[in-house]
């Protein structure tokens, strides 16, 4: 998902207490920097300020970040020459969302646990696709009478 030009996340929403993979192909990547660091913090005051070196790939610079329980995720980038990409001095700021309750259930102790809801949906879609494939390949043979049982002799 592209939220800002030249910055991509591996998820549609930034969820509190989860991890996100960030890909960067912005200004510093275009300048052929050899090293790029992401400088990030959480909330209005940039709490838990951290700077992490990003991995250079053919697709840009990438890093995986663990998001904290905060309102916002703030970051900017710098290279080995101490040149900054800070979104025109406004930094990159994204709102962090709570865990969607439809994807979690409460157990007896009122702790949130993930469900297998998405996995079950995926498995059903696979079963339906397989059934349709079998119908498409077998039904024409039945209609034309162009099938034979293999007899064991």
Per-residue confidence in pLDDT tens, the chain, 153 aa: 445 678 999 888 898 989 999 999 988 888 888 999 999 999 999 999 999 999 998 888 999 999 999 999 999 999 999 999 998 899 999 999 987 766 555 555 555 555 555 566 777 788 888 888 878 877 777 778 776 665 565
Q: Which of 70, 63, 64 is nearest to 47 (CA)?
A: 70
Complete DSSP assignment for 21-60:
EEEE-SHHHHTT-S-EEEEEEETTTTEEEEEEEPEEETTE
Pick the closest to residue 60 from 26, 31, 37 (CA basis): 26
CB 69 within 8 A of CB 62: no
Short-list 128, 104, 130, 107, CA closest to 117: 104
* pLDDT value at residue 103: 57
Q: Which regions of the chain carry the CATH code 2.60.40.10?
A: 2-99
> Is 2.40.30.10 the CATH number for 2-99?
no
**Quick check: 77 and 26 in contact, CB under 8 A?**
yes
Distance CA 134, CA 131 (A): 5
Give me the pLDDT at residue 64, please: 94
pLDDT computed for residue 109 by the predictor: 52
**How would you label 18-38 residue by residue, b for 16+ Cβ within 10 Å and e otherwise?**
eebebbbebebbeeebeebbb
């Amino acid at each position: 998902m592209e939220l800002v030009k030249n910055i991509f996340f591996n998820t549609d929403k930034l969820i509190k207490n989860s991890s996100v993979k960030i890909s960067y192909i912005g200004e510093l990547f275009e300048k052929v920097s050899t090293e790029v660091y992401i400088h990030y913090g959480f909330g209005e005051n940039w709490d838990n300020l951290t700077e992490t070196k990003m991995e250079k790939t053919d697709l840009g610079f990438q890093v995986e970040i663990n998001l904290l329980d905060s309102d916002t995720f703030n970051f900017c980038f710098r290279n080995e020459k101490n040149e900054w990409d800070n979104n025109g001095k406004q930094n990159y700021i994204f709102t962090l969302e709570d865990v969607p309750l439809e994807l979690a259930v409460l157990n007896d102790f009122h702790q949130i646990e993930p469900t297998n809801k998405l996995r079950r949906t995926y498995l059903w879609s696979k079963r339906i696709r397989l059934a349709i494939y079998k119908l498409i390949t077998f039904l024409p043979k039945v209609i034309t009478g162009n099938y034979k049982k293999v007899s064991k002799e």
